[in-house]
Amino acid sequence: MPFQTVSLAELAHRFKFDETPLKPVADLYPYRISSYYAGLITAPHDPIWQQCVPSLLELVDTEQHPDPLDEERLSPVPGLIHRYPDRAVLLVSNRCATYCRFCMRKRRVGCAGGQPALSAALEYIAATPQLRDIILSGGDPLMLSDDELHEILLALRRIPHVEVIRIGSRMPVTAPARITPAFCRMLAEHHPLYLNTHFNHPQELTSEAAQACRLLASVGVPLGNQTVLLKGVNDDSPTMQALLTGLLRLQVRPYYLHQMDLVRGTAHFRTPLEHGRQLIGALRGKISGMAIPHFVIDLPGGKGKVPVLPDSLTRVGEAVWQVQTSSGETINYFDPVSVAQ
């Protein structure tokens, strides 16, 4: 989809900094910021800046894995991730309006290689009757045109056992003008359909974002939000409270609060696991239960998401926690940040 972006040079001119040292970071992990999202930056290193402007700290982190969730192994065909028995992720784009510096798919989003054809993935879905729930992801599916997305949705609706379709998109946050009445009317043709978006900070709860969410809700698209817990961005109680209660005003239900994945190039965003558990616990009784998301870890090795509850983890070492997967398997989870705490 066409939209305006702000180059690193333009951002450097606006905020009076030298972008030269950041170019190697952008060469390794692509840079893009929509003009709208760049306009939300109030000062260097504010919460919006940290999410979208390259940092030299991305190059310092070489210990973590590019694909800790083992998505490549869990891709039986190009463009599809099949981790859970009844649902799969269909990767329909490798581009976004803004490239988040903490992206779980830094290894592929915005990188050379392009988007694989979806024919094999659609054939796999059609041949796998236990798949009843398909999540469109990427990149951002809304980088496709209305017609392109409509064709994908039609193809999925022709598969009898596909009951539910979900779309994961950050466009309501980074490029809300993409959400048009025509686009929403098209989505309404494919119910039951859900959209999960990705607000991380109250600065993102703008009037433009609110209008985008209202348009989606007006055609019966239920909205959820997945937030990532980010050091220095949203890891304090007042910020998190403002974000979660603000989402309800936008008709968006907080769904997940993610512990930062162990993705190479993102270690500087990571908070100790215990901090996240205490933060989510401190919200109870202060805000509506509707506003409190599930705090989850997406376990390395493709073991899936597990909720972090007061009694769901057992510390078994200095930086090691014992957790139980959805299948009942007990594994050890290494929390590297807590070593230095």
User: Which residues form the catalytic set?
Assistant: 83-84, 87, 96, 100, 103, 105, 261, 298, 305
Give the DSSP letter string of 99-146: --TT-TTTTTTT-TT-PPPSHHHHHHHHT-TT--EEEEESS-GGGS-H
Asked if 174 contacts 100 with a C-beta cutoff of 8 angstroms, the reply is no
Which two structure tokens, joined as six digits, stand for 43? 């000062």
Closest CA to 266 of 70, 98, 57: 57
Cis peptide leading into residue 192 (ω within 30°): yes
Could you tell me which residues are annotated as the binding site for [4Fe-4S] cluster?
A: 96, 100, 103
CA separation for the pair 291, 287 (Å, rounded): 7
Which two structure tokens, joined as six digits, stand for 95? 């581009």
Which two structure tokens, joined as six digits, stand for 150? 């409509």
Asked if 134 contacts 125 with a C-beta cutoff of 8 angstroms, the reply is yes
